[in-house]
Amino acid sequence: MFSFILSILGLINAVYLTSLKFLQQESCFIGSSCNDVINSSYGMILGLPISIYGILFFSLVSYISYQRFANNQPSIGFELIILILGSLFSGYLMFAQFILVKSFCIFCSFSAAITFILTGLSFFRIKSSKNVISLSTFKPAKPIMIGSLILMSLLVAFIVFSVSITQRYSITFSPSLAATSSIKTFTTNELDTLAGIEHTKLKMQLQSLRERTFGDYLARYDAGKLGLQLDDYYRVFVQKKLSVKDENIRNSLKRIRGDHNSLLQFLSTMPDAEKNDFRNRFFKLQTDILDLYKASFLLKTTFKTNIEENAYGAIQKGKSKAPLNVVIFSDYLCGHCAHFHKEFKPILEKYNSYFTVTYRNFPLRGQLSDTLSLLGICAANQGMYDEYADAIYKNQRSINTNNVFEFIPSSLDVDRLKTCINDPVAKGLLADDVKEVKRLNIQSTPTIFLNGFMSNINIIKAELEKLTGKKIQPEPSHSHNHDHGDHSH
């Protein structure tokens, strides 16, 4: 009876350890950290937390103990073999915990202690047995054998399933508690939320790095098949008008076997590509390599941002519910914002029906930026936003707090503007924009979103080209002031 109770305690402890692993909660009463142990490299076997094996182990031992105690089924020898194996493995885990991980998990140690005690009791039970010890001593009763086989089959099936899943998907267990302070504790998700779009940028950079690494691997592999160094491989298929899919070219390169002089001689007979077409040919080569090896990058490289609407309204242009929803956070004193405005405005005018554009304020440079933002809101109220933005961006380096109204277009009612900038609704709209900037942790201007995804003028053009089927030609460029310091600190 005592062994059955102990094994049930072991089972409960294993279930609790598994919950700690999945929920990543720090609940150690004694010792430096349970998570240090269960999240170490020694805490997983074949894609499963060790505690899951503990659940199956103590379930088996509980079943054997119950059958022996309640139904008087002979099993002491078989039970001892199971417990010895469990003790050996527990001993290894204790060595890993104290010597390799150099930490202490009270629940892990409790599990090992129960296993050692159960093993000792089993030894004592055999020693106290009046029966002569023989091979039959270690043969379990039929119900115990059947139950054990069922549990072992479940274990094997579960391991096979988990391995197949972990090979297809990346499954990790990350601590939910990321930081503590006297103010409050922070989970990983809370810190990610506070980081806002900076966290999104990092995720995009990481995925982009993985995609490039994948592409580089395929290119190196294919170059090796053709007997080429990677630089020569790009020289052949980027700088020459040759296709990586052309079997005749591939066979010719294989016959050269990487001989440099023979390669140069071969290339001298091939037509050169235009230098201004190198970039397009490089991207075409990457696409062709993917086709050649039936390859695809499966991870997403963009992440959507939830942008909350301004409770006081918005400065909007274009058509409601258009396919391209653009949100722009900008500052009228930002040189890059002026450049974006100049490039985007004619596109918006020409393809107005494709866009819903929301202009939002991120005043970076103190009182003057605040005033210009308020004036922009008020100019939009008069239906003159473009006229105002054109004038301010054109003269942004000449504007100061004393001469702001000298640059207001004559088409605007200045008296209405002066009244409007003190209106609580205009101030509320600006304050709500700034609040959203802080929530998203926007660090620079312009920050542009297209349908919730971080964007830029080139991405906007590319998406518009998909919808129109037309090449979006750049407008003739004129001299314009640029400022490369549009970042908040």
**262 within a domain of the structure (yes/no):** yes
* Number of domains the chain is built from: 3
For 407-460, the pLDDT digits (tens) are 999 999 999 999 999 999 999 999 999 999 999 999 999 999 999 999 999 999
Q: Are residue 159 and residue 205 in the same domain, yes or no?
A: no
pLDDT band at residue 282 under the 50/70/90 scheme: very high
At 325 the three-state DSSP class reads strand
pLDDT of residue 157: 82
Same domain, 20 and 134: yes
**Within this chain, do residues 324 and 458 fall inside the same structural domain, yes or no?**
yes
Question: If you average pLDDT over every residue of the chain, what do you get?
Answer: 86
pLDDT at residue 480, rounded to an integer: 42
CA angle at 145 for the pair 139 and 150, rounded to the nearest 5°: 155
User: Which pLDDT tens digit goes with each residue over 9-35?
Assistant: 888 888 888 777 776 565 555 554 676
CA proximity to 444, closest of 208, 196, 190:
196
Is the pLDDT confidence value at 487 over 50?
A: no
CATH of the domain at 157: 1.20.1440.130
Do 108 and 9 lie in one domain? The reply is yes
Alpha carbon 208 to its chain's center? 11
Contacts within 8 Å (CB) and 24+ apart, 88-96 = 90/115, 90/116, 93/42, 93/50, 96/40, 96/42
pLDDT of 172 above 60? no
Strands 453-455 and 355-361: what pairing? unpaired
244: which 2 tokens?
A: 């990586």
Closest CA to 220 of 206, 210, 234, 209: 234
The strand pair at 447-450 and 355-361 is best described as unpaired
Mean pLDDT calculated for residue range 252-263: 92
**pLDDT classification of 133: cutoffs 50, 70, 90:** low
Distance CA 76, CA 73 (A): 9
Burial of 51 (0-12, 13-18, 19+ CB in 10 A): buried
d(CA 411, CA 367): 25
In a domain, residue 284? The reply is yes
> Are residue 164 and residue 256 in the same domain, yes or no?
no
Query: Is the pLDDT assigned to residue 471 strictly greater than 50?
Result: yes
CATH value at residue 397: 3.40.30.10
Cα–Cα distance for residue pair 329/358, rounded to 1 Å: 9
Whether 449 contacts 440, CB under 8 Å: no
Nearest to 87 by CA among 46, 33, 123, 37: 123
Checking if the pLDDT of 237 tops 80, the result is yes
pLDDT tier for residue 478 given thresholds of 50, 70 and 90: very low
Report percent pLDDT > 70 for the chain.
Answer: 87
pLDDT digits (tens, 9 = 90+) for 203-212: 999 999 999 9
Bridge partner residues of 447 (DSSP): 329
pLDDT digits (tens, 9 = 90+) for 43-98: 777 767 888 888 888 888 887 787 777 767 666 677 788 888 888 988 888 888 88
CA 79 – CA 86 distance, rounded (Å): 11
269 and 231 both lie in a single domain: yes
321-354 tens-digit pLDDT? 999 999 999 999 999 999 999 999 999 999 999 9
Q: What residues form DSSP beta bridges with 49?
A: 44
Distance CA 205, CA 297 (A): 15
What is the model's pLDDT at position 322? 96
pLDDT for position 1: 72
